Structure 1
Amino acid sequence: MRPQLQVAVDSLDMVSALGPLNKAVEHVDVIECGTILVIAEGLRAVREIRALYPGKTILADVRIAEAGSLIARQCFEAGADWVSCVAGASLATIEQVVKVAREYDGQVQVELGETYSADRARFWRDLGVQHVIVKRSRDREAAGDLSWGDADIQRVSELAEMGFTVTVTGGIKASELGVFTGRPVGVVIAGREIMKAADPKASALNLQHAISQVWP
């Protein structure tokens, strides 16, 4: 199955978020109300983006670490379809988030950190988590490490075999998607590649073209 394209909207305010998003939105599948945007604007960001784009899947990337029921409920009531948790959240917290997600017919995503435990991932799946993110961190990228290691690539397949939809992210460019050839990626996230592009629509189309080439 061809991966979906997710745009990470991590602007510092709604004005700077909506300009590029409006240009690219026709060619993306999932809109991520990023952590930075939610910190800056609160869940107003989710509510407004839901109102503007009622047909799109919306992720509230709030990276829940605790208070799972409370935070998840607020996100889903604001209009999110998916919410995110950090890998370090307790299993009790993740279980709370999954329980609330089921009330709203929503889905839960866990973002892997620098360390990875296959056993812990299996617990997430047993609890009902649908999505996991394999990430090249922004800090690692800023330090000059632009590689996708063999362990990262193998992790995609391992997690997909557990039954997760696997998302890849971390400053992804269309030109590097080929590294995932043959791997069961479910979602490709692009943030700066679309949101900071001179032509966000063209950039989103370029990413969709690259996705269709890697996963025909």
Structure 2
Amino acid sequence: MYIQLALDRYSIDEAIDLAKASEEFVDWIEVGTSLIKEYGMESVKRIKNAFPHKVIVADIKTIDNALYEFEMCFRAGADVATVMGVSPNATIKACVETAEKMGKKVMIDLLNTNDEQKEELLKYKQAIFCAHVSKDEQEMSGKSAINISHMYDWTGMLAVAGGINLESFDQFQEIKPDVVIIGSAITKAQNQRLAAEMFMKKINQWREKR
């Protein structure tokens, strides 16, 4: 199980400082959507340069113009780029093919996908699937539970995201996702290193019980 640190709503320098504080206990570093929208591919380049040994996720949330956007992310240094699962089939197919061609990975965000769309996405066995509660749902409606139905049959890697903290973390003990995406529970903690370490300790405890 990997911990993915989500960096959003910061300057590039602030994002790098936050990642440095917790890098010992995180595996993947996400260049968040707002960071990319504000600073462009420079944010991906600088964070990859600062952490060349980490998997860098460009949360571009592509929904169209797949080839151009994915190539742009990968050339900037991203190891993984994201596409929305509600995108046209042609878009998702282009993202998957571009990632394979460039030796990278695609993460398919399942936000707002229905059961039929999820079933259609099953064919992309090489993808990482992200079960996601949106920022707006968290902030405006207080929703925090991640819908993990239909997750047991996914053939690719599974990631979970959306307001995850140490208390809600335990809900994933049974399904054991491959990637847990954590943002403010680490970045807004008084001690980011300690917060990240606490998540890693939880994961290690689960491993010991197996």
TM (norm. structure 1) is 0.89
More helix by share: 1
- Are positions 1:177 and 2:169 aligned together? yes
Counterpart of 1:211?
Answer: 203
Matched, 1:108 2:119: no
What's 2:64 paired with? 66
From the superposition, tell whether residues 9 and 125 of structure 1 become closer, same or farther in structure 2 (CA, over 3 Å). Answer: same
Please give the alpha-carbon distance, in whole angstroms, between the structure 2 residues aligned to 1:201 and 1:68: 36
Alignment of structure 1 residues 71-86 onto 2, 5 Å: 71-86=69-84
Determine which structure has greater relative contact order: mean sequence separation of CA pairs < 8 Å that are 6+ residues apart, divided by chain length: 1
Could you say which residue in structure 2 is the equivalent of 1:126?
A: 123
Tell me the matched-pair count: 208
Cα offset for 1:127?
Answer: 4.1
Letter in 1 for 2:12: M
Residues 38-77 of structure 1 mapped to structure 2, 5 A cutoff = 38-77=36-75
Q: How does 1:140-159 map to 2 (within 5 A)?
A: 140-148=137-145, 152-157=147-152
Query: Following the alignment from structure 1 to structure 2, what is the Cα–Cα distance between the partners of residues 135 and 44?
Result: 26
Maintained 8 Å contact 1:86/1:111: yes
Asked if the contact 2:110–2:118 (Cα under 8 Å) also holds between the matched residues in 1, the reply is no
Corresponding residue for 2:89? 91
In 1: Cα distance, 2:25 partner to 2:76 partner? 24
The question of whether the paired residues in 2 share the 8 Å contact of 1:37 and 1:45 is answered with yes
1:33–1:102 distance in 2 versus 1, CA, 3 Å: same
Q: Is the 8 A contact 1:178 1:214 kept in 2?
A: no
Q: Kindly provide the CA deviation profile for residues 13-45 of structure 1, in whole angstroms up to 9, marking residues without a partner as x.
A: 112212211111121000000001101110111
Q: RMSD value over aligned CA atoms?
A: 1.7
**Contact 1:172/1:190 (CA < 8 Å) preserved in 2?**
yes
Distance in 1 between the 2:79 and 2:204 partners?
25
Report how far residue 51 of structure 1 moved.
1.0
Aligned to 2:27: 29
SS of equivalent residue, structure 1 residue 153? coil
Unaligned runs of at least 5 residues, structure 1 = none
Cα separation, 2, equivalents of 1:194 and 1:90: 34
CA distance in 2, matches of 1:147, 1:51: 33
Q: Is the 8 A contact 2:129 2:157 kept in 1?
A: yes
Q: Is the 8 A contact 1:59 1:82 kept in 2?
A: yes
CA distance in 1, matches of 2:60, 2:200: 26
Distance 1:127 1:182, change over 3 A: closer
Secondary structure at 1:26's aligned position in 2? helix
* Deviation of 1:57 (Å): 0.5
Contact 2:4 2:181 in 1 (8 A): yes
Q: AA paired with 1:176?
A: S
Amino acid at match of 2:166: A
